[in-house]
Structure 1
Amino acid sequence: MDRGPVEGSTRAAGWAEQFAAWHLTERCLAATPEDGARGMFFQGVVGVVNFLQGEEAGAKCLAASGLKELNAAELYPVTRFLEMTAEVTRVLRPQLGDWEQALRYIGTQATVDFLASMFGRELMQAAAGNPWRMLQHMAEGYRAAVTYGERSVLWTGDHSARFVMRRDFMPAPYHEGVLQAALEAVGAQDVQVHGRQLSLLDTEYDVSW
């Protein structure tokens, strides 16, 4: 018996949430105690929730990480960031459409906040308004921001590149938002970013502008 489009869409949303939770849980299981990310990433994501849903929702998402307060420069276990992200996507999905859109949005907005920080201003200065420099400095700058993974850039044209991430814990849509926001911040136009998951923790992104 056909139960109608409303129940069908509700069921699909439920499966999407289960998939999202499984995806982030698998990444948590792959992490070690040495895998950490700086507090500025947590702050950026909480800031997105505060803006869209209010401070009460932001506090709830922070609580999901098991942290009570954040220091922008301090390293925290990446598993805490993933646990917080799972809650953030659950909270924002109804407003933004689906799990991938929620991830892409928080990646974009968290990057905008990051570029306004002390660390971000240094990156903007090093990029000097040049998209090529921005991508190269981003690949190098990750080493100071997280303790895991490797990033590299392969130039594929005058206005295109392939950004490769090895052993990175965030799903592809998050970094699609990150890369798009970073390039637009240095004036790149018509930015397109498409991620391909090579394995659970390895992704490559085709970037053009």
Structure 2
Amino acid sequence: MPSNKAELAARLAAVRSGDSVRGLFFKSVLGLIQQHAGLAAPEAVRDGALGAAYSDLLTYPARDFLTLLYRAADALESALGPEDTVFHACGEKDVARFSTGPGMLIFGIISRGDPQKLFAGAQMGYSAAVSYGSRDYVPTSPTSGTLHMRRDMLPPAYHEGILTGALKVLGRSGTARATRRGIDSADYDIQWR
């Protein structure tokens, strides 16, 4: 089943002029498409509309990244499953790539392997990746917390993938479950072991 284009349109409507995403996330999603759908798939998904090449540290329009995520859901459905599964996989892949590049400071020095410290620095981490939105983390126990995201139009399943992927980077396992508050806001309950 094709991805939800009505939801994509609503998310695109929430994007403001100047909202941008680092190129490494585009490259990571295109790499996931290539891995599961073949060498020619990234070009077919890009379809000339999303630019020819991306630089890891440069930023590109958030509208283009949203469009890429939904095209990835269409391209990867047969390999990975429904769109939320694809979005989750994209989020995990993106955070793994981020943690070895611009996010090394956050994952290595600031968090020192502690999920509480990592999620407490979520606003700083996301600010290194995107130009929009706010994130506020509230611990709820020694092994859980809630991350409140506002004005972030990416699908909740994508962020669930980022958050569980971040736990994997720290050598932990856990879950992140979104409670939607609107098209561009959600609360994420995170638990780990």
Contiguous gaps of at least 5 residues in structure 2: none
1:204 and 2:187 aligned = yes
Q: State which of 175, 178, 188 in structure 2 corresponds to 1:192.
A: 175
1:70 and 2:54 aligned = yes
1:161 and 2:138 aligned = no
Counterpart in the other structure of 1:122: 105
User: C-alpha displacement at 1:202, in angstroms?
Assistant: 0.5
Amino acid corresponding to residue 122 of structure 1 in structure 2: L
1:33 and 2:17 aligned = yes
TM-align CA RMSD: 1.4
SS at match of 1:55: coil
How high is the sequence identity, in percent, across the aligned residues? 26
Q: State which of 82, 101, 110 in structure 1 corresponds to 2:94.
A: 110
Amino acid corresponding to residue 177 of structure 2 in structure 1: H
Q: Distance in 2 between matches of 1:175 and 1:181?
A: 9
**Do the aligned partners of 2:37 and 2:79 also contact (CA within 8 Å) in 1?**
no
Question: How many residues matched?
Answer: 191
TM-score by length of 1: 0.86
Higher relative contact order (CA 8 A, sep 6+): 2
**Do the aligned partners of 2:73 and 2:83 also contact (CA within 8 Å) in 1?**
yes
Q: Distance in 2 between matches of 1:70 and 1:180?
A: 26
Contiguous gaps of at least 5 residues in structure 1: 1-12
Q: Structure 1: which 4+ aligned runs deviate by more than 4 Å?
A: none
By percentage of residues, which structure has more helix?
1
TM-score by length of 2: 0.93
**Do the aligned partners of 1:64 and 1:83 also contact (CA within 8 Å) in 2?**
no
Q: 1:141 to 1:188 in 2, by over 3 A?
A: same
Counterpart in the other structure of 1:131: 115
User: C-alpha displacement at 1:92, in angstroms?
Assistant: 0.6
Counterpart in the other structure of 2:154: 170
